[in-house]
Amino acid sequence: MLTGAPLIRFDAIAKQHGQQILFVDASAALNRGEKVGLVGPNGAGKSTLFRLITREEEPEEGQVTVDRGVTVGYFNQDVGEMSGRAAVTETMHGAGNVAHVAARLHELEHALSDPEREHEMDKLIDELGHVQTEFEHLDGYSLEARAREILAGLGFSQEMMDGDVGHLSGGWKMRVALARILLMRPDALLLDEPSNHLDLESIIWLEEFLKSYEGAILMTSHDREFMNRVVHKIIEIDGGELTTYSGNYDFYERARAITDTQQQAQFDRQQAMLKKELAFIERFKARASHAAQVQSRVKMLDKIERVEPPKRKKSLVFNFKTPPRSGDEVVKLQGIHKGYGSRRIYTDFSHVLRRGERWCVLGVNGAGKSTLLKMIAGESKPDAGAVVQGASLKMGYFAQHAMELLEPQKTVWDTLYEAFPLASVGTLKTLAGSFGFSGDEIQKTCRVLSGGEKARLVLARMLFDPPNFLVLDEPTNHLDVGTKEMLLQSLSNYEGTMLFVSHDRRFLAALSNRVLELTPQGVVPYGGGYTEYVARTGREAPGLREAPGRG
């Protein structure tokens, strides 16, 4: 993809929220046709940067310039109210200029059939001609077909497309909001976590859509593989500065690690030199014979430019205990039948999970992934058949509703301390820090925690004294890249048995050694993990025909 002149420029911007300084003399650019990932710690100012582009906020110093005539589409997690229209109509309604032209076209067609406006006929016909030409130029006649194609890519059935958008869950409304922006086809797409709430099939579809998108893209994502495949440039926000790296996320991380190592070495060398010079000054400052040398060194130290240590906090790694040993047969499913109403999900399904196996469960939306995990965890009963737990089993079950069981008035510290009263203060602080709660953050109450923070707290509590069988339903939802990496590293060293559902391909590939695919024809087990499954089937998810190329 050829890139051109800047569409959006940040020139020496400064911005702060209350006491928090977000940007100081920060500069960067988004050029025509570029696909750029925006990265930085939570609270660094990624969403603020988007709002500066859309003029929802203004910089206190410097300038944000959007090139004349450039259309900007902004997708964020706040989708607003949606109801009273079909999902496909709601998608078309937000498609920018083409939607306004379509509405005017509809008005004119209605006016031409109104006998009371017969005296305006020539004027109306003339305007209709102009509007039709503009509508055609904007590819408006294919608008509905394109809207349906995008919604299908994001997992909608025809029935859902034509149903009232108000009846959809928050996650599905989020997909409608995303479809609206994609249909708009702006010159610059601003995407704040677009892969949240998407299943694996939809993530892969969106990835392919964005790779072939002709406009510029600036996006955040906690999905490392998704970011790697879409972007070819990174803008990092850290310590108030914007730093640009040419390459995908993996390249950025390697480059950043080299820069940090070099900067730390420079800092250490300078600190050693300063210590030596200050020791000399302290030793000889009272001696007249050394006065000139002391003054010379004091002046030198005053002039020297101080090297700062790397700004980025290193993520702590917690060494989790070895879980107790379970029996060889962890769980046995015997002739399971399960359905909802007239819809059968499992029919006479039998399977055994053995010690040390790590099964990832794959299947399209509604195939029964969470249902299977709930039955194994004892949260749901099969209609017929039995779930038999093996000997010496200690199970840990993570589901999205687990976050709702946290006590709102308790702090992060209270939650961990009450779960493990015999653990030392230092051990619990290291545990909290490993899951992203450092300093005053451990005093936050559960009531004010974000979805990601709640997920981190539940996982910390579960893994401190680890069970020998982990059942995990989308454990990486809402987690940032750093926490995902820490969790992935911890679970890679985990010695128990695992059954999990995830839409994160890095997680699937690193942790699974078995695959259970739920298909309309039944359940298909595969020896080997997710990587082997992709190689064998030629697809990255059950709902896809073949694995897309990396492009």
Residue 98 pLDDT exceeds 80: no
Q: What is the pTM of this model?
A: 0.84
pLDDT tens digit string along 316-369? 677 788 999 999 999 999 999 999 888 889 999 999 999 999 999 999 988 999
Residue 505 pLDDT exceeds 80: yes
Please give the single-letter amino acid code of residue 391: A
Average confidence (pLDDT) over 191-214: 94
Give me the chain's average pLDDT, please: 90
Give the whole-angstrom CA distance, residue 506 versus residue 487: 12
In 3D space, the residue among 321, 334, 359 whose CA is nearest the CA of residue 499 turns out to be 359
Give the whole-angstrom CA distance, residue 530 versus residue 200: 13
Given a contact cutoff of 8 angstroms between Cβ atoms, the answer to whether 91 and 150 are in contact is yes
Whole-number pLDDT of residue 332: 96
Residue 547 pLDDT exceeds 70: no
* Cα separation values, 156 from 152, 183, 202, 363, Å: 5, 15, 10, 15
Confidence of residue 440 (pLDDT cuts 50, 70, 90): confident
Whole-number pLDDT of residue 315: 65
Here the tokens at position 338 are 């399960």
Question: Residue 291: beta bridge partners?
Answer: none
pLDDT tens digit string along 1-38? 455 688 999 999 999 888 888 999 999 999 999 999 99
Residue 550 pLDDT exceeds 60: no
Given a contact cutoff of 8 angstroms between Cβ atoms, the answer to whether 471 and 500 are in contact is yes
Pairing of strands 233-238, 241-246: antiparallel
HSE at residue 143, side-chain half, CA atoms within 13 A, is 26
Please give the single-letter amino acid code of residue 546: E
Residue 551 pLDDT exceeds 80: no
In 3D space, the residue among 223, 215, 218, 211 whose CA is nearest the CA of residue 234 turns out to be 218
> What does DSSP assign to residue 478?
T
Residue 549 pLDDT exceeds 50: no
Please give the single-letter amino acid code of residue 65: T
Cβ contacts of residue 283 below 8 Å, gap of 6+? none
Given a contact cutoff of 8 angstroms between Cβ atoms, the answer to whether 497 and 393 are in contact is no
Given a contact cutoff of 8 angstroms between Cβ atoms, the answer to whether 209 and 182 are in contact is yes
User: Which of the given ranges, 169-178, 229-238, 540-549, has the highest pLDDT on average?
Assistant: 229-238
The three-state secondary structure class of 415 is: helix
pLDDT tens digit string along 38-91? 998 877 889 999 999 999 999 999 999 999 999 999 998 777 778 788 899 889
Give the whole-angstrom CA distance, residue 506 versus residue 476: 11
Least confident residue range of 1-10, 207-216, 291-300, 541-550: 541-550
Give the whole-angstrom CA distance, residue 543 versus residue 156: 13
Average confidence (pLDDT) over 446-461: 89
Given a contact cutoff of 8 angstroms between Cβ atoms, the answer to whether 168 and 77 are in contact is no
Here the tokens at position 6 are 């800047």
Cβ contacts of residue 209 below 8 Å, gap of 6+? 150, 153, 182
* Cα separation values, 539 from 231, 361, 527, 545, Å: 22, 15, 16, 6
The rounded percent of the chain whose pLDDT value lies above 70 is: 97
Here the tokens at position 476 are 């990486």
